[in-house]
Structure 1
Amino acid sequence: MHALLLTHGTRGDVQPFLALARALADAGHTATVAGPRSYAALAADHAVAYHPVDDGPNTLMDDPAMKGVMETGLRGLRGAAHTVSLLREITPLMRRVYADMAATVDLGADVVVHIPGMPGAHIAERLAVPAVPVALQPSWVPTRAFPAPGVPWPERAPGALNPLTYRLAALALRGQRGVAEDLRRELGLASRPGRNDPLLRPDGAPATVLHAFSRHLLPAGAHYPPQVRTTGFWFAPPDTAWEPPAELEAFLVAGEPPVFVGFSSLPTLDPAATGRVVTAAVRRAGVRAIVAAGRGGIDAAEAEGDVLLIDRAPHERLFPRCSAVVHHAGAGTTGAAAAAGRPQVVCPFWGDQPFWAARVHDAGVAPVPLGGRRLTEDGLAAALTEALTGPGTAARAAELGERVRAEGGAREAVRVLEEVAPPGPAG
């Protein structure tokens, strides 16, 4: 079986697909990942065949307009205005991404696996092979158990109305329909009902959906239909070739395990101010810390002694050597922190992050979430102390880690794909 894997976004959107490609290779199959050009080097590090496409909306991460997004988290009236503005900017950028994705038809495949925002269903239809959409967060398949993560919704709204929020989430793809229709014409595909619904097969039947996250972090009572398979988080094998730089290794062995602090690729309003808050908070809590600058969201350049500033490091290698993980509650980082079995301090900014922050808090492995956009020294110091000394927190985190690791999410996803597209000559 040869699988074509289509994704786009930040590292948290790309890395799970690299993990799936590795799991497919371990099972005797082949795979090509198509994703943002800026992550081609990451794919090479994972020894995965990669088809680079235009970076598209990723280029907006350094746009000054993103400060407004960080201020509002896309909530409230100002957030709604920012959402409309953002969608207008994204549509022409997605046209370039779709054009590059269209070229993957020439690669051939026995199955196309894709996030809902990518034209995987159209490309699969052109190749006459199954398409399998992947949800990296539970925002696509309706349930009464909780509203769609990332959709602003009153907390006390009746659960019977929760399915409506998934329709609202799907509206995020509506702006791409014109782009998708152009792609279909380019591929020679005819119009048909439901052609822009990634959860439907061309014959109108429900598509198999892969939930690439842990069932142990879902609220009770989701009751997904049988075609939805919640596999667990997709983790790549640990990068055994990576060795900590000498300065990082020296810091790790110089004292008690440090806490990790990092907000991945998120731009904060004032990276220097965020760095000062983080540095002061960890010192008030009496702990050592490794601070990851990421794409510049935290600038702790003046840190020294008990605080070490790094660019980045593999989470699966670093987190197990830390005492706690402070992060933005993105799905990928949440999964890595959970798998490491470490207490967490979650500081969500926007999108699905408040959902994951609430889930790890409800699991008893993190204090009440802190607002990432309004992080304070007092709040972070108190949360760190609670995470590290709270009764039973460390034990619950370790137990959750065992459950998450045992799921083997990427391997389970391969088994599902073998059911959908049994191995043929290409495998």
Structure 2
Amino acid sequence: MTTKVLIMGIGTRGDVAPYAGLGVRLREAGHEVTIAAHEPYAELVTDAGLACVTLPGDPLTALTGRISISAFRDYSEQLVEGLAGLREREADVLLLGVAGAPACHVAEAMGVPSMGVHLQPVDPTGDFPPVMSLLRRSLGRWGNRRAARLAFEVPAAGPLLSGLGVRMRARLGLPPMTPRALYRRRESTRWPVFHGVSPLVLPRPADWRPGLEITGYWWPPRPRGWQPEPVLRDFLASGPAPVFVGFGSLAGTRAEQYTGLAVDALRRAGCAACCRLVCGGASPTTCWGSATCRTTGCSPGWPPSPTTAAVAPPEAGCGQGCPRWPCRSRTTSRSGRPG
């Protein structure tokens, strides 16, 4: 039986790319897949041969440069309108990422089920503090769980989510529901969430409830016909496996700063490195070597192999591109804390 699947690819390149990989696998299983994504990242979907519904806005404009509440507010308004417009589409199930969580209201308005396809482990656990926060250290098992739950119950703590659910429900003609009530419904129904993360990178927390699962990475499709430059292949063949460092879409405005940080850290560690500084930009930057750096273009779909270690921020397109080969991977939060 063919199921019409609508995936909410809300976010930047690192969020959309894994959903393109997931969508390809679902299509191969015989389902009809559409991904809703912001226009700058629609090509990731269409290049994979999947249908794409474009959404207005681009979260990257609100996430780069100086933090601006007005930029977050403008983006959230665009997101509400874009998601509300999906109500008229035909779908049997909606798959929601962390950033696409407000689309649960769209599924309710459509009268179809939804489930989570998360790229970050945001559900409460005592094993570590909330990964999408600035916390640098554990708060203890009770404190870790409570802090993560508050992120669900008090979303106004973040300007991007402030009042978003309220506006979504009003726009869709649904009765009001507080974030706390929504979270309790989510937990009482054991709303299923599958995490596109390797269990070798993140073992499933023992205190997670049933319905929260770690599935392994959803590999993005490799760009058609792309081949690495000979100089990169020569570098990989010239010595021990390097360390791979990726900074995600947010590095575009701080490439020089991040280059300096990465090179200094790798020099101190005495490591050879391949460092991709811009996963999502039009001209991604790659450097390698422990003492000197050279730059060239590098496809987001082709990190080096083999790799001894990988470091990446929470955007899964970067994190998922790293540990594809035998290596130990490490994902960091915005503050640099392992996550």
Q: TM-score, normalised by structure 1?
A: 0.65
Look up the SS of the partner of 2:228 in the other structure.
coil
In the other structure, the counterpart of 1:338 is: 323
1:200 aligns with 2:185: yes
1:143 aligns with 2:155: no
In the other structure, the counterpart of 1:42 is: 44
Q: Conserved in 2, the CA contact under 8 Å of 1:5 and 1:112?
A: yes
1:166 aligns with 2:148: yes
1:133 aligns with 2:116: yes
CA-to-partner distance for each residue in 1:212-240, whole Å, 9 max, x for gaps?
A: 22333336753322222222222134446
Counterparts in 2 of 1:240-251, with a 5 A limit?
A: 241-249=225-233, 251=235
2-structure distance, mates of 1:348, 1:195? 28
Look up the SS of the partner of 2:250 in the other structure.
coil
Q: Could you list the runs of 5+ residues in structure 1 that have no partner in the other structure?
A: 67-85, 357-427
- CA shift in 2, pair 1:275/1:159, >3 Å: closer
Q: Conserved in 1, the CA contact under 8 Å of 2:126 and 2:145?
A: yes
In the other structure, the counterpart of 2:214 is: 230
Structure 1 residue 47 displacement after superposition: 1.8
Structure 1 residue 124 displacement after superposition: 0.8
Look up the SS of the partner of 1:216 in the other structure.
coil
2-structure distance, mates of 1:343, 1:136? 18
Look up the SS of the partner of 1:149 in the other structure.
coil
Q: If each structure's helix is expressed as a fraction of its own residues, which one has the higher value?
A: 1
1:57 aligns with 2:59: yes
CA-to-partner distance for each residue in 1:160-210, whole Å, 9 max, x for gaps?
A: 232211133223466546343333333232335669736735x96232222
In the other structure, the counterpart of 2:171 is: 186
2-structure distance, mates of 1:293, 1:269? 10
1-structure distance, mates of 2:77, 2:206? 35
1-structure distance, mates of 2:241, 2:165? 50
Counterparts in 2 of 1:403-418, with a 5 A limit?
A: none
CA-to-partner distance for each residue in 1:88-144, whole Å, 9 max, x for gaps?
A: 6413311111201222222210001112443321111121110112322111x2223
1:262 aligns with 2:264: no
Select the residue among 139, 159, 162 that pairs with 1:157.
Answer: 139
**Amino-acid identity (%):** 26
Look up the SS of the partner of 2:36 in the other structure.
strand
Look up the SS of the partner of 1:52 in the other structure.
strand
AA partner of residue 130 (structure 2) = A
Select the residue among 98, 103, 124 that pairs with 1:120.
Answer: 103
Relative to structure 2, which stretch is displaced further, 142-151 or 322-331? 322-331
1-structure distance, mates of 2:41, 2:76? 17
In the other structure, the counterpart of 1:312 is: 298
1:105 aligns with 2:87: yes
| CA radius of gyration, larger in | 1
Relative to structure 2, which stretch is displaced further, 191-200 or 328-337? 191-200
1:3 aligns with 2:5: yes
2-structure distance, mates of 1:162, 1:284? 33
Look up the SS of the partner of 1:340 in the other structure.
coil
Relative to structure 2, which stretch is displaced further, 190-199 or 214-223? 190-199
Structure 1 residue 291 displacement after superposition: 3.8
Structure 1 residue 34 displacement after superposition: 0.6
Look up the SS of the partner of 1:206 in the other structure.
coil
- CA shift in 2, pair 1:192/1:186, >3 Å: same
- CA shift in 2, pair 1:97/1:215, >3 Å: same
- CA shift in 2, pair 1:299/1:46, >3 Å: closer
Q: Could you list the runs of 5+ residues in structure 2 that have no partner in the other structure?
A: none
- CA shift in 2, pair 1:288/1:149, >3 Å: closer
- CA shift in 2, pair 1:168/1:188, >3 Å: closer
Look up the SS of the partner of 2:95 in the other structure.
strand
In the other structure, the counterpart of 1:369 is: none
Q: Conserved in 2, the CA contact under 8 Å of 1:261 and 1:292?
A: yes
CA-to-partner distance for each residue in 1:52-104, whole Å, 9 max, x for gaps?
A: 112343212443x15xxxxxxxxxxxxxxxxxxx5564133111112012222
In the other structure, the counterpart of 2:35 is: 33
1-structure distance, mates of 2:143, 2:259? 41
- CA shift in 2, pair 1:24/1:218, >3 Å: same
Look up the SS of the partner of 1:311 in the other structure.
coil
Q: Conserved in 2, the CA contact under 8 Å of 1:194 and 1:204?
A: no
Select the residue among 67, 74, 96 that pairs with 2:78.
Answer: 96
Q: Conserved in 2, the CA contact under 8 Å of 1:260 and 1:291?
A: yes
AA partner of residue 49 (structure 2) = A
2-structure distance, mates of 1:195, 1:48? 36
Q: Conserved in 1, the CA contact under 8 Å of 2:94 and 2:115?
A: yes
